[in-house]
Amino acid sequence: MNGTEFIIKAEDSGFGAEIGGVDLGGVVAEETFAAIREAMIRHKVLVFRGQHLDDARQLAFAQRFGPLEGHINRGTRHDALPKIQVFGNVDQNGNTTGVHPERGTLVWHTDKSYVATPSMFTVLRSPSVAREGGDTLFADMERAYADLEEDRAARLLELHVVHDWKRSREKSNERAATADEIAAAPPVEHPLVRTHPETGAKALYLGNHTSHVVGMERAEGEALIAELERHGTQAKYIYRHRWRDNDVLMWDNRCTVHCVTGYDAAKERRIVHRAVVQGDRPV
């Protein structure tokens, strides 16, 4: 790669990889960028250590993958760069609030599945990391689907699930969705099993944003979603990211779910800045 030291260090399972030899805050050559994107599709979760990015550089890097999405929650938008979303437990005086922002991030989900064209990639950096807890977990929903019994996997292909921002807020005991948010993100149907548009692989597509199964009695559908989530988030499908200062983490929302582990929000400072690349309609 023209003398660069681009390195991919993959997890043993192939799910998740650490990328070395790249400065995301500098000029990333087209050849290197293409290799990053190829690694993203292959490994689903990428980690870049020791990156010194500000918001503008994070935005510029994320934009190379495609148009960026806005955010339903206006309260978390960056004041100067609204396509950057800021989550943190630190107030304007630099004191911890004691509260983890957006409790929905503590439960399994895939970003923005409650809109018609959900997120493709998410690019996350953490200006301040918790020293204990606050890890990000990812589950490989392609492997989870592939491991289902053949007959059951085939039956799931026939099902659609409603994803709903309003219901997601209720399930995570977060503040209620506003009327403007509900209008901007009304309930939407997606297949329970989606096909990756670039690889053709199939994956379970669910998480906290899911509300119910179309055409199925509510309680039965909720039980099915919960059962499949338990199956898909078994330890054998999980990659755990333990944050370090100046990490950049990115993932493919079309075939993964993720969540944050608990931490002491009164003691630990934790701030993350997020940019999200728009995807396409699940099929």
Angle at 126 between CA 281 and CA 170, to 5 degrees: 50
pLDDT confidence of residue 54: 93
pLDDT at position 1 is 47
Res 71: pLDDT: 77
pLDDT of the residue at 92:
84
pLDDT at 111 over 70: yes
Q: Rounded to an integer, what distance in angstroms lies between the CA atom of residue 268 and that of residue 261? A: 13
Q: Pairing relation of β-strands 45-48 and 238-241?
A: unpaired
Contacts of residue 79, defined as CB under 8 A and 6 or more positions apart, other chains included, come to none
The chain-wide mean pLDDT, for the chain, equals 92
Report the alpha-carbon distance of residue 69 to residue 102 in Å, rounded.
18
Give the model's pLDDT for residue 59.
94
pLDDT over threshold 80, residue 95: yes
pLDDT of 3 > 60? The answer is: no
Mean pLDDT of 102-129: 93
**Ramachandran bin of 14, using left for φ above 0, alpha for ψ from -120 to 50, beta for the remaining angles:** left
Which tens digits make up the pLDDT trace of 210-223?
Answer: 999 999 999 999 99
Give 8-59 pLDDT, tens digit per residue. 999 999 999 999 999 999 999 999 999 999 999 999 999 999 999 999 999 9
CB 89 within 8 A of CB 270: yes
At 79 the pLDDT is: 61
Residue 128 has pLDDT above 90, yes or no: no
**Cα torsion 81, 82, 83, 89: sign:** positive
Q: What is the pLDDT of residue 102?
A: 79
pTM of the model: 0.94
What percentage of residues in the chain have a pLDDT greater than 70? 95
Give the per-residue pLDDT at 174. Answer: 85
Kindly report, residue by residue over 53-90, the tens digit of the pLDDT: 999 999 999 999 999 987 766 555 556 566 888 888 88
Query: Which domains does the chain carry?
Result: 7-278 (3.60.130.10)
